[in-house]
Amino acid sequence: MSYNGPRHYSSGAMGDDVRPILKRAREGDREAFGQLVRSHHRRVYMTAYRMMGNHDEANDVVQDAFVRALKGLEGFDARSEFFTWLYRIVVNVALNHLRQRRRRRSVSIDEVVLPRSLQQEVAGDPRRALELKRMVDEMGRALDELPETLRVTLVLVVLEGMPYRDAAQVLECSEGTVAWRVHEARQQLHKRLGKHLDGRQATTSEDDELRGDTTEAVDGGR
């Protein structure tokens, strides 16, 4: 699988302009808050999608998260990073949604959409297409079945490319805990998906496959 999307984590989408805009938003300027929403929306949506595994629930999480952010702006500590604060809200909202969803929504294999890179690979080969659809579906199920703390840590560090230090701030835990969770999540995924990985160890290339599949799913499904 190929992945050509961004791989480098950025702690904010607006650079040095965020603080004056944030100041205006905290003072009740809805247009300023709209700028914050627009500048962070794609990253927030990507995180929500990777947490929830489908577009409808990701949209619900994003909407709920921005509503909570708007209500909570007055109490936001301006000395803190807005991006980290917003991500913490998104993660907490997504976790709440996951807790409410007792089991993964059943999806027919015919409804699974392959990433664009795989669509090219299986052109004219329905048997191969079915095989890869099953693989993509199993990858999604494997992510769904990870414990909450492992899943969210994997999403932030591996799929979002967030440094351990920043992930620790979002998750309110130590960097050592983040490192352990990433290791454990990779091990659990490798046990579940080993037959699809040709005997390889959990590596950066596998991370790229997971990251690329979800990025293409987001870009192709909206």
Name which residue leads in pLDDT, 103 or 168. 168
CA 109/CA 161 separation, integer angstroms: 30
CATH architecture, range 12-102: Orthogonal Bundle (1.10)
pLDDT of residue 202: 44
Mean pLDDT score, 176-198: 85
Name which CATH class applies to 108-222.
mainly alpha
Nearest one of 156, 162, 145 to 101, comparing CA atoms: 145
Amino acid at 129: A
Distant-in-sequence, close-in-space partners of 200: CB < 8 Å, separation ≥ 6: 206
Check whether 209 has a pLDDT greater than 70.
no
Check whether 32 has a pLDDT greater than 60.
yes
Does this chain's domain 12-102 share its CATH topology with 108-222? Answer: no
Distant-in-sequence, close-in-space partners of 47: CB < 8 Å, separation ≥ 6: 87, 90, 91, 94, 155, 156, 160
Check whether 173 has a pLDDT greater than 90.
yes
Going from N- to C-terminal start, the domains of the chain cover: 12-102, 108-222
The mean pLDDT value of the chain amounts to 78
CA 156/CA 172 separation, integer angstroms: 13
